[in-house]
Structure 1
Amino acid sequence: MENNSSYAVIDLGSNSFHMMIVQVVAGSVQVIGRVKRKVRLAAGLDKDMNLSNEAMLRGWECLNLFAERLQDIPSQNLRIAGTATLRLAKNVDVFLKKAEHILGHKIRVISGDEEANTIYKGVAYTSSSKQKRLVIDIGGASTELVAGEGDIPQISNSLNVGCVTFLDKYFPNGELSEQNFTDAIGAAELEIGQVRDLYKDFDWQEEVGASGTVQAIQEILIHQGHDERITLPRLISIMQQAITYGSIKRLNIPGLVQERQQVFPSGLAILIAIFRQLNLVGMTLAGGALREGLLYSMLPHLTKQNVRERTLNSVMTRYHVDEEHANRVAELAMNLANQVSDKWDMEQFGALEILRSAALVHEVGLQVAYKDQQIHASYLLANTNLPGFTEAQKNLLTALVRNHKEDIDQSSLSKQSSTSVLLACRLSRLLRLAVILSLRRKDEAMPKVIVTVENETLKLRLPENWIGKNPLTEAELGQEASYQAAQGWQLVIE
């Protein structure tokens, strides 16, 4: 019997073939299967733009693996897209005929513009930001540059520049030299230069990368002790590291996974060219791309709600969180934060929204056990896909949840790349107070609280006679002052 809640998308890329299978659970997308194989289809294009039999065979062998899982997916819940290499190949019909026979479904070879726009939507539908953004996707045989606002792409281009096609052309025999990088960067800059002026007046607020190259670079940066932000100086530094190895076979940059090793230098060269031509300042990794764009085209009802709200609602439903109480704690946490916002600069890094999110999901650990619930909650969230949150935002969220009660784990608060450690500590202190003051889980039992701060001293003023009528909360606040004092923070209860 067909499962109508299951969906599949297949991306026949120039470097890899990907299949993603999902279910819609509690109003959110849950990935239940992924299969990825390096097919390197673009490497099989000859000078006349014909695919070699060997390359087609690699593709067909991969599709045989995919076909088994597709037997359980309704045809209306499936999207299969071919990209740059299949657009370029003159003998594409030969490949498609057998490929469609293997899969039992039609394959759409999409245009460069459609690919660019679908990538943009995949980024937008997995991000909570509504700002103007520039999206970059470096594929095996093409690179997409898309500028847009919200979920609407406005300027899109697909260039014949890719990490597979550039590999053999500019890094012959896998040699890594300064000259090879210079040649590859220069060639990519020539292509990008032809469309550069289309973007110069767009004035985007964020730069997002949606490719394996960008993910690999971010992993290297974090492994080497940096935050997740990709900048031109950092790219140049990674390039210099790569050159020291002399050969792709010996390439062993700390943080680079072996799977990306082969096409990493060419992808890096293309990204450096993009940064130079478009004057980029800081790029982060997207939560989605082409596959997500294809997926959400089948799920339009999920695109109408803010993705972060959709994620939070789904997490609360799946872990049976007391929604009324979660909103009570969130409202109080925001109230406290707003009272100290001027002196503690709570507006930076979107911190208030992360504080609210942490308050909403702080009790997910109760589904495991009451004891150490904050540890359980942090683990569950850290290992849950959270669309709408970048990795850095997710790290801050899990750190706040980890520290919403009992002993303060300073190490988790110190591992922040999206915000300052000081701000993470301040957010944690406010969340902890909101949890304690909501202890009775009733709106009418909540005190009207005034908080003030002087440097890192936090003063909490409660209504007259309230403390005497609530001895348990008084004891909890006294214990909390001790927890915070152990970290060198002063909490004064008045």
Structure 2
Amino acid sequence: MAAIDCGTNSIRLLIADIVGDRLVDVVRRMEIVRLGQGVDRTGRLAPEAIERTRVALADYAAVVRDLGASRVRMCATSATRDAANADEFRAMVLDTLGVLPEVVTGDEEARLSFTGAVRGLSAQAPYLVVDIGGGSTEFVVGSSSVDSAISVDIGCVRMTERHLHTDPPSSDEVAAATADITAAVDRALDAVGGRGAATLVGLAGSVATVAAIALGLTEYDPVRIHHSRVSYDEVAKITADLLEMTTAQRLAIPVMHPGRADVIGAGALVLRVIMERAGAGSVIASEHDILDGIAWSTASPS
């Protein structure tokens, strides 16, 4: 089966087989397309952002056809939920991929993320799973299944565009972003009962990049990142360092994806604030997330 996750910053493809109770990757791809460029300000998807996404999706569609995937499910998340011209995006996807994208709700996004993250995880439950995306962050609490979930608009792209305008950001800009993030995190933790969770699990590119830096990797290695544990002190130091760097300096970090360098400071800040407000001494980074959840749902449609 094939799963495609189109978020605010990236579009990702997973083609996998089911072997027993495991997903076995055939292809896993990611491209930074910044579909959510300017959506927080304009409420619309920019034409150039739709075109970048179309180019990447056309490549994915060719891979899906070549490998003969039996089922295809594409989910679009925060940026597309917020856009007044989402119909233009849907028409492009249908023309390029041959199926309509599902513009999932924040609640469904959270549940898919949880499903992908907790399969195969050996850690104390209940879990607080946080998926820090480009436009939103999902908070999910549960053990073997979801007990409560909420999505709030504090993604790394949205917070960068809203607050972090200079390079590097000023102390006033960081303070404004921190206040905005803190208010949203407190609201989310109250809604899902997140402060009572035994284990914090972090998903998506910002968390994985912070984990890779903490591990001292010289190149991005998803096997080493997956289920690595990063302490709050490490997250706090890495966040401070990233926010003091220029984009060019971040680009020089060996594990930094070029399309993430301008927004990683905001993503790390979201993670740091979540850990502070939840009282979490560490976070487990997971390379399995909403993309894996989409694949599982495609394998066993409800």
Q: TM-score, normalised by structure 1?
A: 0.55
Shift of 1:257: 1.9
Shift of 1:11: 0.4
RMSD of the TM alignment (CA)? 2.5
In structure 2, the residue matched to 1:138 is 132
Deviations 1:348-392 (A, max 9, x none): xxxxxxxxxxxxxxxxxxxxxxxxxxxxxxxxxxxxxxxxxxxxx
The match for 1:55 among 44, 49, 63 is 49
- Any unmatched runs of 5+ in structure 2? 218-224
Shift of 1:46: 6.1
Q: Distance in 2 between matches of 1:160 and 1:266?
A: 13
In structure 2, the residue matched to 1:267 is 267
Shift of 1:128: 4.0
Q: Distance in 1 between matches of 2:42 and 2:95?
A: 26
Secondary structure, in 3 states, of the residue corresponding to 2:93? helix
Q: Distance in 2 between matches of 1:188 and 1:107?
A: 29
Q: Distance in 2 between matches of 1:201 and 1:182?
A: 24
Alpha-carbon contact 2:35-2:49 (below 8 Å) kept: yes
Q: 1:26 to 1:233 in 2, by over 3 A?
A: closer
State how many pairs are aligned: 292
The match for 2:213 among 203, 207, 220 is 220
Q: 1:169 to 1:14 in 2, by over 3 A?
A: same
Q: 1:229 to 1:70 in 2, by over 3 A?
A: closer
- Any unmatched runs of 5+ in structure 1? 1-6, 302-494
Q: Distance in 1 between matches of 2:115 and 2:212?
A: 24
The match for 1:195 among 165, 185, 188 is 188
In structure 2, the residue matched to 1:186 is 179
Secondary structure, in 3 states, of the residue corresponding to 1:102? helix
Secondary structure, in 3 states, of the residue corresponding to 1:71? helix
Within a 5 Å distance, the mapping from 1:347-362 to structure 2 comes to none
Secondary structure, in 3 states, of the residue corresponding to 1:172? coil
Shift of 1:235: 2.1
* AA aligned opposite 1:131: A
Secondary structure, in 3 states, of the residue corresponding to 2:238? helix
Alpha-carbon contact 1:207-1:280 (below 8 Å) kept: yes
In structure 1, the residue matched to 2:248 is 249
Secondary structure, in 3 states, of the residue corresponding to 1:194? helix
Q: Distance in 2 between matches of 1:25 and 1:196?
A: 36
Specify which structure has the higher proportion of strand: 2
Q: Distance in 2 between matches of 1:190 and 1:201?
A: 15
Matched, 1:43 2:34: no
Alpha-carbon contact 2:139-2:192 (below 8 Å) kept: no
Q: 1:120 to 1:256 in 2, by over 3 A?
A: same
Specify which structure has the higher proportion of helix: 1
Q: Distance in 1 between matches of 2:264 and 2:194?
A: 31
| Percent identity of equivalent pairs | 24
Q: Distance in 2 between matches of 1:231 and 1:253?
A: 24
Alpha-carbon contact 1:186-1:273 (below 8 Å) kept: no
Q: Distance in 1 between matches of 2:173 and 2:48?
A: 27
Q: Distance in 2 between matches of 1:64 and 1:257?
A: 25
Q: Distance in 1 between matches of 2:75 and 2:19?
A: 25
In structure 1, the residue matched to 2:280 is 280
Matched, 1:119 2:118: no
- Which of 1 and 2 has higher RCO (CA within 8 Å, sep 6+)? 2
Shift of 1:88: 0.6
Shift of 1:243: 4.2
Q: 1:201 to 1:183 in 2, by over 3 A?
A: closer
Shift of 1:282: 1.0
Alpha-carbon contact 2:151-2:188 (below 8 Å) kept: no
Q: Distance in 1 between matches of 2:4 and 2:186?
A: 32
Q: Distance in 2 between matches of 1:253 and 1:62?
A: 25
Q: TM-score, normalised by structure 2?
A: 0.88
Deviations 1:250-273 (A, max 9, x none): 225755424332221010111122
Larger radius of gyration, structure 1 or 2? 1
Q: 1:119 to 1:26 in 2, by over 3 A?
A: closer
Secondary structure, in 3 states, of the residue corresponding to 2:156? coil
Shift of 1:173: 3.9
Shift of 1:214: 1.0
In structure 2, the residue matched to 1:426 is none
